[in-house]
Structure 1
């Protein structure tokens, strides 16, 4: 099962293995994961995230929220919109929304980059003059799990193939400039319990190598934290050494966290 967790000003997507207990926080969103699951917006907040590319987890760049820009070329208006999406259905819904919001536009050019696929559409413009330039900008910016729609209101002057390529590419570039890129780090979610006498050393270790998400104080101290995947082996070794084998890590799943959580 998969849960959104809200804690601190970071966003995180948590995949909890079947049967594992959550930390009791209210989920923002629940979904079934797929190879192309990625960031989504929730009620305009900054609690969003994603899953990695096919074939294994990886760090990647997406955008924090939607962005837009306008470009005018020879009386034609090009309105470019970007949005983080969680897969092909969300990308298609985004395109449908833009068609509904701008029913009088001549063209609704579309492109998206997902972990395991890329798609684009010229929507009636000459082949290769619209969708591909938009897709190329998304690629060059290094975005993943991002969809773009460029709406064109025809101004009565034909731009020609080179002009269309430049106009669509420039419009979506302006929207990309307005977006806030965010790097998501692939992490492992761990839980452990320790005696109060071990808390000071264990907490220092956890904060040095990971991001502490929750601490619960009962008869023992229970800690939930995320550790970047490239530090997971070293962290397990350090926990064993620090506690002389008394503290046992329980792996809770895989998550993605904002890179700034570990700065």
Structure 2
């Protein structure tokens, strides 16, 4: 199950006089990630590199920022993928210490910096939700409300007209079982509305 982080996390590594400052941030998209990277650049004007990787809602990025190709952004992205994270920016600010680390050394340094920060990060499961809407006779409203409560669904809206229309939200993974239970409990008197969406 994909996870994100609850709040920002940091770590610092010193390798052959170079400082690697890792910053992890929960982000919704690339624009938010780029804003954080711009802020890090402004906060660290003397840094040699601000490399970053992003996984957020189907968007990904791996930026080496002047380091040899594939030695910074890609290894950091691999750490995020390996941890099954989404909605996370990993950025590493490097202050060059005068000693070259070589391609293998850079890959290890950027990987380790992000991995160290992840050790302190609180991970939380990402739950996708479905919003459903149905109409039913007044006599079945109580039954439906009890089923929704038992399933942990959140009631969003109730409208009383010729029938009762209810809109509710619950975890995507729980929706098919609840729909089946509701259809069975209502004995075919439940009408599902098409204006549903997943989020």
> What is the distance in 2 between the residues matched to 1:223 and 1:67?
41
Cα RMSD for the two superposed structures: 2.9
Deviations 1:100-124 (A, max 9, x none): 1211111101111244443212212
* Deviation of 1:251 (Å): 5.4
Q: Which deviates more, 160-169 or 243-252?
A: 243-252
| Contact 2:28 2:57 (C-alpha < 8 Å) held by counterparts | no
For residue 133 of structure 1, the aligned residue among 57, 71, 75 is 75
Aligned pairs (5 A) from 1:45-60: 60=2
Which residue is equivalent to 1:23? Answer: none
* Deviation of 1:164 (Å): 1.7
For residue 185 of structure 2, the aligned residue among 211, 234, 242 is 242
Structure with the greater alpha carbon radius of gyration: 2
Deviations 1:53-111 (A, max 9, x none): xxxxxx63222232222222223211111122222222222221211121111110111
Q: Which deviates more, 141-150 or 246-255?
A: 246-255
- Mark the CA change 1:124 to 1:198 in structure 2 (over 3 Å): closer, same or farther: same
Which residue is equivalent to 1:77? Answer: 19
Number of corresponding residues? 198
Query: Where do 5+ consecutive residues of structure 2 fail to align?
Result: none
> What is the distance in 2 between the residues matched to 1:179 and 1:150?
15
> What is the distance in 1 between the residues matched to 2:118 and 2:89?
11
Write 1 or 2 for the structure with the bigger share of helix: 2
Which residue is equivalent to 2:111? Answer: 169
- Mark the CA change 1:159 to 1:233 in structure 2 (over 3 Å): closer, same or farther: closer
Q: Which deviates more, 178-187 or 94-103?
A: 178-187
* TM norm structure 2: 0.80
> What is the distance in 1 between the residues matched to 2:169 and 2:100?
54
Aligned pairs (5 A) from 1:22-101: 60-101=2-43
- Mark the CA change 1:97 to 1:228 in structure 2 (over 3 Å): closer, same or farther: same
> What is the distance in 1 between the residues matched to 2:70 and 2:186?
61
* TM norm structure 1: 0.63
Q: Which deviates more, 116-125 or 96-105?
A: 116-125
> What is the distance in 1 between the residues matched to 2:58 and 2:176?
28
| Contact 2:156 2:169 (C-alpha < 8 Å) held by counterparts | no
- Mark the CA change 1:165 to 1:106 in structure 2 (over 3 Å): closer, same or farther: same
